Amino acid sequence: MHVPPVYRRWVTCPEPRPQASLRLFCFHFAGGDASAFRLWTTQLPASIEVCPIELPGRATRRSEAPITRFPELLDKLANMMLPFIKQRPFAFFGHSFGGITAFELTRWMRRNKAPLPVHLFLSACPALHLRQQPAPRISHLSDTAFLDEIAARFGTPREVLASEDVRAEVLPALRSDALVAESYHYAPEPPLEVPISSFGALQDPEVSREEAEAWRHQTTAGFRLRMFPGNHFFLATQRRKLFQALLEDLAPQFP
């Protein structure tokens, strides 16, 4: 298969699986990068080709200028992904900030009559119609105050955010993603004809069970809520249980 250059930039594929029946596009959390899904590429079945998204301004794309406005991010990402969503069935998985991206990308695909995912997985992400009042802005704060706010909102250990490595590697991406989040505004649209699975955590200070459950109002094609042990970053600690949930919910699409 010919692999366009974009396959190593916006859309990454650490382990190409040309015979896979499904592509799973994974959208990272704020300040994160495609490496958050590194183990997914080898630990999910061969029938699934895992394609983590890598946004500019971080990790392998650190030398590129970050995007700081959500509408620009959505349009660029959608157009970069179009060649890949037309090749085979696909699903979206987004964690936290990545959940917003996955949800709005699905609605962009519908508005533009592009193929839709067979399933939408939204993890540690509140139903956006419940949060139409924006959270207080933090992108303008000093480094210390900014990281204090991140720790308070998401339960990130302060000793982690205080490390020099985090400040050097993660802080620039966190700030650009904060600007993107602050430019996002939810607009009502009809529910999607795409099944939605919502994953929450029992000790998440940022997303309540009720906010995770309210995603059921954004679909007419089936909904399931699962709550996992842990905090906002249960993505790493509950990986095996997440895999089991993904496979269970994808099974009706591939009997």
Q: Could you list the active site residues?
A: 96
Question: What's the distance, CA 120 to chain centroid?
Answer: 10
Cα-trace Rg, the chain: 17
Contact 36, 52 (CB under 8 A): yes
Query: What dihedral do alpha carbons 98, 100, 103, 108 form, nearest 10°?
Result: -100
**Partners of residue 223 on adjacent β-strands:** 196
Dist. CA 167–CA 99, nearest whole Å: 24
Question: What's the distance, CA 18 to chain centroid?
Answer: 24
89 phi, psi to nearest 5 deg: -60, 150
Q: Return the closest-CA partner of residue 106 out of 218, 223, 200, 244.
A: 218
Contact 30, 174 (CB under 8 A): yes
Contact 165, 19 (CB under 8 A): no
Residue type, 64: E
